[in-house]
Amino acid sequence: MNVASRLPNPPAAALAERPSKTARDSVKPPFLGFGLGLRAQHYDEILNGNPPIDWFEVISENYMLPGGRPLRTLDRICERYPVVMHGVSLSIASTAPPNFEYLQGLKDLARRVEPKWISDHLCWTGVHGKNLHDLLPIPYTQEALDHVISRVQLVQEFLGRAIVLENVSTYIQFNNSEMTEWEFLSELSRRSGCWLLFDINNVYVSAFNHGYDAMTFLNGIPADRVVQFHMAGHSHMGTHIIDTHDHPVCEDVWDLYVAAIKRFGRVSTMIERDDNIPPLDELLLEVNRTREIAERVLPPAGKRAG
């Protein structure tokens, strides 16, 4: 019998107000530097060349099958580089019962990888056991907030650690939303204790698609809750932008990155490329650019801006 099917959804309002020991004990994850999303195309180059990348983000689901080359390769990369786990199937906002088999898989992988943190997205990905493999948006209502907080608390208690949640790119908005996305994320982080992964490209994409100012979003997120930046490319269709991750980071998003590090400070940053994947050297140029900009914009570690 599926474990998840025996467990009802937690009562949202009750759990949402329950203080979480895991969240209270959570220490802010460390600054890792400037990293890259690990992709199979680069396994050999990384293992043979030890490129100057500070850390890697791995897609959790790619390594949740026992054995095989991906897991063996990941073991070797973990010996050399700090790693964080980034999932796409947590479906934290879903109203379906929590998938404890998936959560156990995440926990087992984390035991092996010892990631600096585990992240996923503020979204839902399916219902009735179906994974639609898309990061679907939610209405920003008080009811949804209570529900997601209860789910985050449940996941954090199961994993024994605070998780990190990312803002997704969106293409629709809900008429019944009662708050902005940045207000929702801020409250979610404050009340559940989860940390935030601030995807700068996603903010740019959503701001364009919905006609608001990306800086309003950026300034609405509490600086002390952000532990990671994503930088990625997109496809501009003229009337709207699609978050394809198949292009280099565009100049507007680099400008937003400058504004983000001015507001959030030293935050672990990585280049996220998922399609049309170029040789490693090409992505290294983008990783180096994140480092160069941060070093130019921020005072040296240990010194305060005058």
**Range 38-45 contact pairs with CB under 8 angstroms and sequence separation of 24 or more:** 38/74, 38/77, 38/83, 39/273, 39/274, 39/277, 40/70, 40/73, 41/277, 42/277, 42/280, 42/283, 43/73, 45/279, 45/280
> Which CB sits closer to Fe ion, 199 or 286?
199
Instruction: Kindly state the smallest distance separating residue 201's Cβ from Fe ion, in Å.
Output: 7
> Which CB sits closer to Fe ion, 150 or 167?
167
Asked if residue 286 binds Fe ion (CB under 5 A), the reply is: no
Find the part of the chain contacting Fe ion (CB under 5 A) among 57-65, 90-98, 191-199, 276-284.
Answer: 191-199
For 284, phi then psi, to 5°, come to: -60, -35
Instruction: Kindly state the smallest distance separating residue 135's Cβ from Fe ion, in Å.
Output: 9
Task: Give CA angle at 68 (43, 92), nearest 5°.
Answer: 85
Of 133, 153, 129, nearest in space to 11 by CA: 153
The site that binds Fe ion (CB under 5 A) totals a number of residues, namely 2
Cβ atoms 217, 182 nearer than 8 A: yes
> Which CB sits closer to Fe ion, 161 or 230?
230
Instruction: Kindly state the smallest distance separating residue 269's Cβ from Fe ion, in Å.
Output: 12
Cβ atoms 89, 130 nearer than 8 A: no
> Which CB sits closer to Fe ion, 146 or 199?
199
Instruction: Kindly state the smallest distance separating residue 56's Cβ from Fe ion, in Å.
Output: 15
Report the residue count for the chain: 306
What is the CA 35 to chain-centroid distance, rounded? 14
Kindly identify the residues of this chain, within the stretch 196-235, that bind Fe ion according to CB under 5 A.
199, 230
What is the C-alpha separation between 14 and 34, in angstroms, rounded?
A: 40
> Which CB sits closer to Fe ion, 63 or 204?
204
> Which CB sits closer to Fe ion, 12 or 218?
218
Instruction: Kindly state the smallest distance separating residue 230's Cβ from Fe ion, in Å.
Output: 4
- Residue found under tokens 């608390």: 153
Q: Give the pairing of strands 235-236 and 241-242.
A: antiparallel
Instruction: Kindly state the smallest distance separating residue 24's Cβ from Fe ion, in Å.
Output: 28
Q: Which residue minimizes CB distance to Fe ion?
A: 230
Find the part of the chain contacting Fe ion (CB under 5 A) among 38-46, 122-130, 182-190, 192-200.
Answer: 192-200
> Which CB sits closer to Fe ion, 141 or 235?
235
Residues forming the site for Fe ion (CB under 5 A): 199, 230
